[in-house]
Amino acid sequence: FTRQAIINDDLNAFARVAFLLGQAALRTVNRLAVIKLLANAATAYNSNALYSTANANLVEGTAYAPTTTEKSKAALNEMEKTMRLQTGMKGEILNVSPSIILAGPTASRYVLEAIADTSTTEMGREPNRGLRGLTPVIEPYLEDTTITGNSTTGLYLFTSPMVIPVIVAAFLNGNENPYLERKTEFCDDGFKTKGRHDVGIGQNDHRGIVSSTGVA
């Protein structure tokens, strides 16, 4: 940024550059995590895809498409049951508890309604008490058409990452904040702004996730 540009910046737009760089870095972590999740790569444990019928953590069918509140309830209940039946290395049931539901913006309305539907006065309607306390996370990158595996009907149920982490982020020297630097240019009467973020995304354990495709 030159001296002339800085003087003419009546709206202080340049002052926001460092803030925008920081926001972009944080979005990049989200995007990389979603890319890793949707890649559904083979696990080191048994070479099966992260979520698959072979790993017994995949729910399929249009009956579970999150296009209505009732279908979303059906999907969440089936996913919860599937997660609780996950088995360990010796075939023992682990009784993994669901904690987080990840959904895209298109499904968010019905998923939020399904989670909130823990009681009802309507005749013949079963409340969704089994999903009390489930934390919804709405992630637009799940529907990003530039990411392989994107979907408007896909749902992802996770247990607490403190119990079984599924997608993990590693930061250089444990620093989760982006590095931002501003340097004054003596000869040009201006300044330069630089930002960087050192992060790597990995895949851990399939037992902490259940996916629902919402399609046949």
Tell me the pLDDT band of 127, cut-offs 50, 70 and 90.
low
Higher pLDDT, 31 or 130: 31
> What is residue 129's predicted lDDT score, i.e. its pLDDT?
66
Entry field: residues in the chain: 216
pTM score, whole prediction: 0.85
SS3 19: helix
pLDDT score, position 117: 73
Secondary structure (DSSP) of 17-67: HHHHHHHHHHHHHHHHHHHHHHHTPBPTTTSSBSSSTTTT-EE-SGGG-TT
Q: What is the pLDDT of residues 66-94, one digit of tens each?
A: 999 999 999 999 999 999 999 998 889 99
Mean pLDDT of 25-34: 94
The percent of residues above 90 in pLDDT, for the chain, comes to 62
Segment 10-32 shows an average pLDDT of 83
Query: Residue 144: its pLDDT value, please?
Result: 97
On the question of pLDDT at 53 being above 90, the answer is yes
At residue 142, the pLDDT reads 98
Residue 214: predicted pLDDT: 97
Cα separation, 72 vs 59, whole angstroms = 12
Nearest to 64 by CA among 92, 119, 118, 103: 103
Task: Collect all residues with Cβ–Cβ distance below 8 Å to 90 and sequence separation of at least 6.
Answer: none
